Amino acid sequence: MENGKVNPAALIDSPYHELAPSGPDVLFGDDGIVKLFGILRAIEDNARVS
């Protein structure tokens, strides 16, 4: 996380990796990952300074 933003790739790092070494879809499910990535990207897009 940097400046309040979470890079979706961070979901394969600690602490998620320790909880689900095979990937975040184990924790959130395939549909959950798609939704979560969309939310994280929307937050980043809306937080950009023009």
Question: Is pLDDT of 49 > 80?
Answer: no
Rounded to whole angstroms, the Cα distance separating 23 from 11 reads 8
Question: Is pLDDT of 40 > 90?
Answer: no
Residue 11, number of CB atoms within 10 A of its CB: 19
* Alpha-helix residue ranges (DSSP H) falling in the chain: 16-19, 25-47
Instruction: Give this prediction's pTM.
Output: 0.67
Question: Can you read off the two tokens belonging to residue 45?
Answer: 């897009």
Of 1, 9, 14, 18, which Cα lies nearest the Cα of 36? 9
Mean pLDDT of the chain: 82
